[in-house]
């Protein structure tokens, strides 16, 4: 006798879009916990991050990706675009994120990558809470629907959580019938060591000028579990001595403030006391060196 109970759905959803459109904020809101670091600067996300959302109807495996962009041509920029496009190849469904009432060349480039991959997609129109005249959304939605045959167009606000339940239902309907791949209480496959590096880097992105964060990265030299507390040793890599001086600041005050905030964020995420020690070192032109990128963890996604 056949059961009338519908089978659960499970699959991978790649979150794709131009830089700074709100993909990481959306992932964090969907998962209900901070997994991806955020800032108002473009290209904050450098790694594909898996976020697992389990509902009664099934399991959605979100993959947050770097923004597809047209800025610069060094090794790091190439890696970021490659990471985003690789996620398109290995996914069941794409969540294409755009900003309400905006369309740029980088939006077009992200859509072109989606079309080339030939993967079904749902569009999330973000930041609708910032649109004062909601009547303006209708022609924008119509134009977006003409650009591509999306399975659904869902206006949302990632920062406020508006319409995200409807978005999740639309995504689940489009995923294949399959059993969950992860336990229902698991929210990612990334290690605590990875998140320690990201939370330290978040402080650099948020605290320093427009160009400096793109010339910095963070490496965790040691991550020790001391039974109820962690000890973390982090290295901040920069490209020039003057960048090192800026990050350290007068009498080390700037670095101390950034490290203190990063430690507090780690304790919040890990749920235990954290002892954090941070050093700053110079590695000339690391962002333009493919081999250096590999040693620093880029390309291991």
Q: What is the mean pLDDT of the chain?
A: 92
**Per-residue pLDDT reduced to its tens digit, 90-110:** 899 999 999 999 999 999 999
**Per-residue pLDDT reduced to its tens digit, 45-78:** 888 899 999 999 999 999 998 888 776 667 888 8
pLDDT band at 43 (very low <50, low <70, confident <90, very high): confident
The pLDDT value recorded for residue 73 is 67
For the whole prediction, is pTM greater than 0.85? yes
Contacts 24+ apart (CB under 8 A), 114-120: 114/16, 114/88, 114/148, 115/148, 117/85, 117/88, 117/89, 119/14, 119/88, 119/91, 119/92, 119/93, 119/94, 120/93, 120/94, 120/151, 120/174
The pLDDT value recorded for residue 276 is 98
Whether 231 has a pLDDT exceeding 80, the answer reads yes
The pLDDT value recorded for residue 267 is 97
Query: Given the structure tokens 């250096």, which residue do they identify?
Result: 292
Phi, then psi, of 272 in degrees rounded to 5 = -155, 165
**Per-residue pLDDT reduced to its tens digit, 156-165:** 999 999 999 9
Whether 126 has a pLDDT exceeding 60, the answer reads yes
> 232 and 222 in contact (C-beta within 8 Å)?
yes
Give the residue-averaged pLDDT of 140-153.
98
Whether 115 has a pLDDT exceeding 50, the answer reads yes
The full set of domains in the chain, from first to last, is 9-174 (3.40.50.300), 192-295 (3.30.300.20)
Whether 16 has a pLDDT exceeding 70, the answer reads yes
Whether 261 has a pLDDT exceeding 80, the answer reads yes
The 121-126 sheet, strands edge to edge: 49-55, 58-64, 9-16, 93-99, 121-126, 153-155
Higher pLDDT, 228 or 72: 228
CA gap 159, 124 in Å, rounded: 13
């Amino acid at each position: 006798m056949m059961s009338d109970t519908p089978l659960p759905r499970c699959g991978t959803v790649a979150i794709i879009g131009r830089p700074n459109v709100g993909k990481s904020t959306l992932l964090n809101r969907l998962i209900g916990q901070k997994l991806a670091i955020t800032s108002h600067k473009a290209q904050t996300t450098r790694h594909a991050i898996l976020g697992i959302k389990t509902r009664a109807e099934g399991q959605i495996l979100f993959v947050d990706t770097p923004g597809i962009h047209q800025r610069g041509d060094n090794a790091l920029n190439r890696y970021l675009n490659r990471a985003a496009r690789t996620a398109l190849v290995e996914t069941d469904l794409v969540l294409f994120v755009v900003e309400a009432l905006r369309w740029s060349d980088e939006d077009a480039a992200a859509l072109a990558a989606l079309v080339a991959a030939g993967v079904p997609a749902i569009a999330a129109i973000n930041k609708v809470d910032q649109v004062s005249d909601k009547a303006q959304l209708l022609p924008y939605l119509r134009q977006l629907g003409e650009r591509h045959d999306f399975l659904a167009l869902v206006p949302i606000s990632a920062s406020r959580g508006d319409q995200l339940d409807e978005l999740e239902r639309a995504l689940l309907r489009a995923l294949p019938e399959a059993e969950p791949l992860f336990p229902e209480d698991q929210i990612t496959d990334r290690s605590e060591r990875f998140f320690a590096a990201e939370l330290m880097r978040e402080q650099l992105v948020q605290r320093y000028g427009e160009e400096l964060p793109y010339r910095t990265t963070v490496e965790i030299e040691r991550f020790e579990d001391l039974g109820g507390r962690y000890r973390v040793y982090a290295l901040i890599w920069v490209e020039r001595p003057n960048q090192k001086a800026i990050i350290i600041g007068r009498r080390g005050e700037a670095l101390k403030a950034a490290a203190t905030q990063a430690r507090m964020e780690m304790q919040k995420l890990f749920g235990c006391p954290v002892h954090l020690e941070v050093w700053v070192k110079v590695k000339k032109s690391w962002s333009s060196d493919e081999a250096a990128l590999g040693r620093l963890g880029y390309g291991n996604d």
